[in-house]
Amino acid sequence: MTLSIATYVIVGSLFAFLATGMPIAFALGLAAIAGLLVEEGFGIFEVLGETMYAGIANLAYVSIPMFVLMGAAVAASPAGKDLYEALDRWLNRVPGGLVLSNLGACAIFSGMTGSSPATCAAIGKMGIPEMMGRGYPASVATGSICAGGTLGILIPPSVTMIVYGIATETSIGRLFLAGVMPGLMLTVMFMAWALIDAKRKGYRFSDGGQRRFTLAEKFSALPRVLPFLAIIVGVLYVLYGGVATPSEAAGAGAFLTLAVVLIVYRLFRAGPVIEIFGTAMRESIMIMMIMAAAELFAFALSSLFITQTIAGAIASLEINRWLLMLVINIFLLVAGMFLPPVAVIVMAAPLLFPIVTQAGFDPYWFAVVLTINMEVGLITPPVGLNLFVINAIAPQVPTREILWGSLPYVVVMFIGIILLCIFPQIATWLPDAVMGPAV
């Protein structure tokens, strides 16, 4: 099969629209319409609405706004501040302990929200001024939180894992479990690098004047944090214990999180509650619009035989399967630098899934590898979302400094991918142990 003129129209118009700064959903939708118009004519307008609606008419998608609401409720409260302070009291005497506190807070907060930008914003507002005030370089203060925030799309609950599960018709519960061990592994690796960097640059001396917290003071910081951790454990229990479906678990988690936020932080006024629901609605609509437009884009690619041609070209490559995986990783890295994770997954997962499984790779393991690639995209130009979030929090720090501080963590992520390739059980052991081997 050869590619038609419409192929070049759809690809060229997509890049042109993205270059103007147009929202991703509109760029994908308009590029798809342009390609279909060239190939099919104006008759394609009869199927546009139906195709886009089919992209989001799935009951499993109910879990997305519920988890987004869960994250919005936590992000709107001082939960991030309390979590940060609790960890700081336990780690303040460790060399570079403030960096470890930030990374640990990012990991735990990720489990509460499932959102990288929310994690960056919540922990960064408290952590960056505190670190810089104690003498940490701006690049270290901003880069560690920028990188730590990426854990939001790997540690469950993860919206991107839900999208992958629906796009590839794989178990969302098993995907969540597959992300736990790699997420903890990356957290430990981030902390290990932070310790090495702290000892190498002598951050111990900046921390030497901190006060010593008594055991009572350390434990006094926990009561406000523990309810949120209990909710995470509860959601995972009902999900993996067979008590509820992912959508039901997400709904229960969102309700309990909202209730805890309102009671613990006494947010009884209408304003904060309206803001929580407004934030959740805006983010949910953005995600759903991307998914609907991506469905139309995928329909256009399939109708123009672009998907089939690319898949056939990749499948015909007579190369080692690990070299094939390297090619796929490079593709994902480049795509993640220009598009948000949800858009990349909705567009690429249906194309890559059969290729990966035919090559003998585990689809749940691949979901983790794909997600880590998307994490790298969140902290690399030109569309590194976490970079812009951190820059908005600390506008006095140049973007170049933020990027320079986050680059070591990019290397750590690459090492993490290599470890997953050598030891795939890091991702597959927990799902198999809890839910049995995948059929």
- Cα distances from 275 to residues 212, 328, 340, in angstroms, run 38, 40, 24
More confident residue, 62 or 176: 176
Residues 46 and 81 in one domain: no
Residues 296 and 381 in one domain: no
DSSP 8-class letter at 269? S
What percentage of residues in the chain have a pLDDT greater than 70? 91
pLDDT digits over 415-431, tens only?
999 999 999 999 999 99
Residues 138 and 164 in one domain: yes
98's tokens: 């403030």
Q: What is the pLDDT of residue 370?
A: 93
Q: Above 50 in pLDDT, residue 17?
A: yes
Span 231-260, average pLDDT: 79
Q: Above 70 in pLDDT, residue 298?
A: yes
Span 6-19, average pLDDT: 82
Q: What is the pLDDT of residue 307?
A: 63
Range(s) of the domain holding residue 336: 59-268+306-435
Q: What is the pLDDT of residue 208?
A: 46
Q: What is the pLDDT of residue 268?
A: 80
Position 275 in a domain: no
Residues 219-250 as b or e (16 or more Cβ within 10 Å = b): eebeebbebbeebbeebbebbbeeebbbbebb
Residues 369 and 313 in one domain: yes
Q: Above 60 in pLDDT, residue 283?
A: yes
Q: What is the pLDDT of residue 206?
A: 46
- Cα(416)–Cα(428) distance, integer angstroms: 15
Contact in structure between 28 and 296 (CB atoms under 8 Å):
yes
- Cα(84)–Cα(181) distance, integer angstroms: 22
Q: Taking Cα atoms as reference points, which of 355, 365, 359 lies closest to residue 427?
A: 365
Average pLDDT, the chain: 81
Q: What is the pLDDT of residue 379?
A: 86
Q: What is the pLDDT of residue 423?
A: 94
pLDDT digits over 363-391, tens only?
999 999 999 998 888 888 766 778 878 88
Q: What is the pLDDT of residue 188?
A: 92
- Cα(322)–Cα(288) distance, integer angstroms: 34
Position 72 in a domain: yes
Position 11 in a domain: yes
Q: Above 60 in pLDDT, residue 56?
A: yes
Contact in structure between 13 and 278 (CB atoms under 8 Å):
no
Q: Taking Cα atoms as reference points, which of 226, 222, 230, 224 lies closest to residue 87?
A: 222
Residues 16 and 155 in one domain: no
Residues 294 and 172 in one domain: no
Residues 209 and 142 in one domain: yes
Position 245 in a domain: yes
pTM, to two decimals = 0.78
- Cα(32)–Cα(20) distance, integer angstroms: 17
- Cα(222)–Cα(225) distance, integer angstroms: 5
Contact in structure between 296 and 24 (CB atoms under 8 Å):
no
Span 247-261, average pLDDT: 84
Enclosing H/E stretch for 414: helix 399-422
For 395-408, give the DSSP string.
TTS-HHHHHHHHHH
Number of compact structural domains in the chain: 2
Residues 396 and 258 in one domain: yes
Contact in structure between 127 and 101 (CB atoms under 8 Å):
yes
Q: Which of 304, 332, 355 is the last residue of a domain?
A: 304
Q: What is the pLDDT of residue 3?
A: 56
- Cα(388)–Cα(92) distance, integer angstroms: 29
Position 231 in a domain: yes
Lowest-confidence region among 14-18, 61-65, 209-213, 299-303: 209-213
Residues 312 and 194 in one domain: yes
